[in-house]
Amino acid sequence: MVIVLGEALIDMLSGKTTDGERAFIPHTGGSPFNTCIAAARLGVSTGFLGRISKDFFGQMLINGLTENGVDLSFTQRGKEPTTLGFVKTSPGKDPEYAFYTTGTADCSLNSEEIPEGFPEDVNALLFGSISLLMEPGATVIESLIKREYRKRVLSFDPNIRPGLISNETEFRNRCEELFNLSTIVKISDVDLQWLYPGKSLDEAARTVKSFGPAIVAVTRGAEGSFALHGDQKVSCRGTEVQVVDTVGAGDTFHAGFIAWLDKNELLNLDALETISVNQLLEGLSFASKCAAVTCSREGADPPYEEEIF
């Protein structure tokens, strides 16, 4: 079983109403939420650990998890409102975001809501994104990752949103501490450029690798992806697709890579230390195909297993 922890929010996507008027339309979202849904659709036993509002937006999120077969045993509910993220999409460009997070449910996860331990069948925790910026939840999540270090696979996607970062040095330090604790780091070229300005993509990725993760998987949009493992670099071409938008593409890639590892009995600490070049390439290719399907439709709408060609 894989447990995804972090934010669950409502993405307000620019679109048109049924009568043709321009409007922002609510869609369920949040990077960890999207990753959780994607993993579940790909056939992975998946649970969500986070705090979700009791308001009607929160019920949309709960419905989305339930409809996709996600285990809610680790999901908390709160009276605080749901985080809103307004998303502006433009052809050929990364989405732009504006978040409204003050006092919201997913940022308010507290230590009493974290389980004292996990069942033996939980082989991985996936985490990252804006949940690492909002207190008290950020410190709670970081403490949990420290507790679970070397007990199971820890997979980190920073999914950096610069507009929410008030102290860049402090956040870089937090990321690097979490790189040190992680088994897998999935990270985009844009995130690497923000973290290590002035370094080439290879140099920045190898800087992340130097903190100790077994695998660093770097996504490059249409240019494909590559992974670092030991002293090996494995590159994978992107999957061609007619892009509608890229919302949720990185989250789906993360889920696809984890799903491939899980289905091939490689989602454990020992196996990831000895994974072969061919296995890494197959995992990247599968993840790329998953992300391409998400890019082919509006919003974060990840594929089901049978849709992967």
pLDDT at position 207, please? 98
Per-residue pLDDT of 116-161, as tens digits, reads 999 999 999 999 998 999 889 999 999 999 999 999 999 999 999 9
- Domain with residue 97: its CATH number is 3.40.1190.20
Cα separation of 182 and 123, whole Å?
13
Look at 162-166, 216-220, 233-237 and tell me which has the smallest mean pLDDT: 162-166
Q: Residue 92 — pLDDT band, cuts 50, 70, 90?
A: low
Cα separation of 276 and 273, whole Å?
9
At a CB cut-off of 8 Å and minimum separation 6, what does 169 contact?
Answer: none
Cα separation of 112 and 116, whole Å?
9
Cα separation of 5 and 75, whole Å?
9
Phi, psi of 274 (to 5 degrees): -115, 10
Q: Residue 260 — pLDDT band, cuts 50, 70, 90?
A: very high
Question: Domain span at residue 287?
Answer: 2-307
pTM, entire model: 0.93
Quick count: other Cβ atoms within 10 Å of Cβ 288?
22
Task: Give the chain's end-to-end CA distance (angstroms, integer).
Answer: 25
The alpha carbon of 112 is separated from its chain's Cα centroid by a whole number of angstroms, namely 24
pLDDT at position 11, please? 86
Structure tokens at 213: 């993760």
Per-residue pLDDT of 47-64, as tens digits, reads 999 999 999 999 999 999
What's the domain count of the chain? 1
- Mean pLDDT (whole number) for 246-272: 96
Cα 302–Cα 178–Cα 228 angle in degrees, nearest 5: 65
Paired strand residues for 219: 188, 225
Q: In the chain, which ranges are E strands?
A: 2-5, 9-16, 22-29, 46-53, 75-78, 84-88, 96-100, 124-128, 153-157, 184-188, 215-219, 225-229, 232-236
Per-residue pLDDT of 165-181, as tens digits, reads 999 999 999 999 999 99
Per-residue pLDDT of 10-46, as tens digits, reads 988 877 777 777 888 899 999 999 999 999 999 999 9
